[in-house]
Structure 1
Amino acid sequence: MWTSDGVFLFLLSALVAAQEQISTTSLPAVSCASKSNSSCAECLQNASCLWCAPSKQCLDYPVKNILPPKSVCPLSDARWGVCWVNFQTVMITLSVLSGLLVLGLLVCCLCCCCRRRRRQRVSDDDEDLRAEQQTRARTARQKERRMEMQLRHDKIRQKYGLSKDNPYSRMDEKK
């Protein structure tokens, strides 16, 4: 199985081959067909060439298609850019890597959404806790005010002899 290093090297070598092609544009263009029945390395010196291993043909890459059609060369036998990897392996590797990339992005998005929801729940819980604490504080202040008012009323009752301590005191005074 190909590792990510192997794929990276393939892509890098394809890029280098394409760069060499661009830098050697001043040289007269040699057709790919003239390099047939030679070696893969010699054929792939030109980035626009495709090597078909069983027939040992050097073909112009069919640029109208993304992948070379089976009539030109089967994917398992086609080489482009480098000789040591075929199109079938490249396609499988790129498919798996792109699938992993999409899966990784989805996992990242889901994790971010979950964290945001969790933070929102925590902040909602904090708001509920603050509201509950404010309610408790309000209730405690109300109780204090009631107690103060009750003490004031009791003092006034005592001053005028209307205290609730002895409910029968008024009746004794009238006798």
Structure 2
Amino acid sequence: MDATFWAFVGLVLFLAAMAWIKIPAKIGKSLDDRADAIRKELDEARKLREEAQSLLSEYQRKRHEAEGEAEAIIAEATHEAERLTVETNQALEDMIARRSKAAEDKIAQAETQAIAEVRASAADIATAAAEQILTAKVKDKVADDILSKSIAQVKEKLN
């Protein structure tokens, strides 16, 4: 008997002991358990992926909605700014027109007042001149009456 024979006998005894202890069944059960655990992990990963995909699509939808709202807000703000610009320009034009009208009214009033002052001054000068002329040419009581009436008439007509 040589060493090869004893190695063969040892191998047979080892395999018989493994079969008797049911090692192949335990290895198979262990592999089955491992396959089940991997299957569960894959199912869990698939569920997580689906949830992540769902969250991603929801966030993308919300982002699109937010972008739409932002664009609407920007458009509204632009429209409001344009409207306010038009209103402000119109108000400025109205204010300029009112101030121009007020300035023209003041100028017209000043002209009217200046004309009235010139007329009054002219009337006073004419009255004084008429008084001097009449006092130099007409004398006595008749002259005084005529002079008084004339002065009164000139004052009434000039004012």
Give the structure-2-normalised TM-score. 0.51
The match for 1:155 is 132
The one of 77, 91, 96 equivalent to 1:114 is: 91
2:138 is paired with a residue of what secondary structure? coil
2:91 aligned with 1:132: no
Q: In the comparison of the two structures, how many residue pairs are matched?
A: 94
Q: Tell me by how many angstroms 1:129 deviates.
A: 0.6
The CA RMSD over aligned residues, in Å, is 2.9
Q: How far apart, in 1, do the equivalents of 2:72 and 2:124 lie? A: 77
Q: Tell me by how many angstroms 1:55 deviates.
A: 8.7
Relative distance call for 1:141 and 1:54 in structure 2 (3 A) is same
Relative distance call for 1:147 and 1:128 in structure 2 (3 A) is same
Q: How far apart, in 1, do the equivalents of 2:134 and 2:80 lie? A: 80
Q: What are the Cα deviations for residues 17-65 of structure 1, in whole angstroms up to 9, with x where unaligned?
A: xxxxxxxxxxxxxxxxxxxxxxxxxxxxxxxxxxxx5397xxxxxxxxx
1:103 is paired with a residue of what secondary structure? helix
2:119 aligned with 1:142: yes
Query: Percent sequence identity over matched residues?
Result: 10
The match for 2:79 is 102
More helix by share: 2
Residue type of the alignment partner of 2:91: C
Relative distance call for 1:54 and 1:138 in structure 2 (3 A) is same
The match for 2:149 is none
The one of the two structures with greater contact order (alpha-carbon pairs below 8 A, sep at least 6) is 2
More strand by share: 1
Q: Tell me by how many angstroms 1:130 deviates.
A: 0.4
Q: How far apart, in 2, do the equivalents of 1:125 and 1:157 lie? A: 47
Gaps of 5+ in 1: 1-52, 57-72, 80-84, 169-175
Q: Tell me by how many angstroms 1:105 deviates.
A: 1.4
Q: Tell me by how many angstroms 1:152 deviates.
A: 1.2
Residue type of the alignment partner of 1:151: A
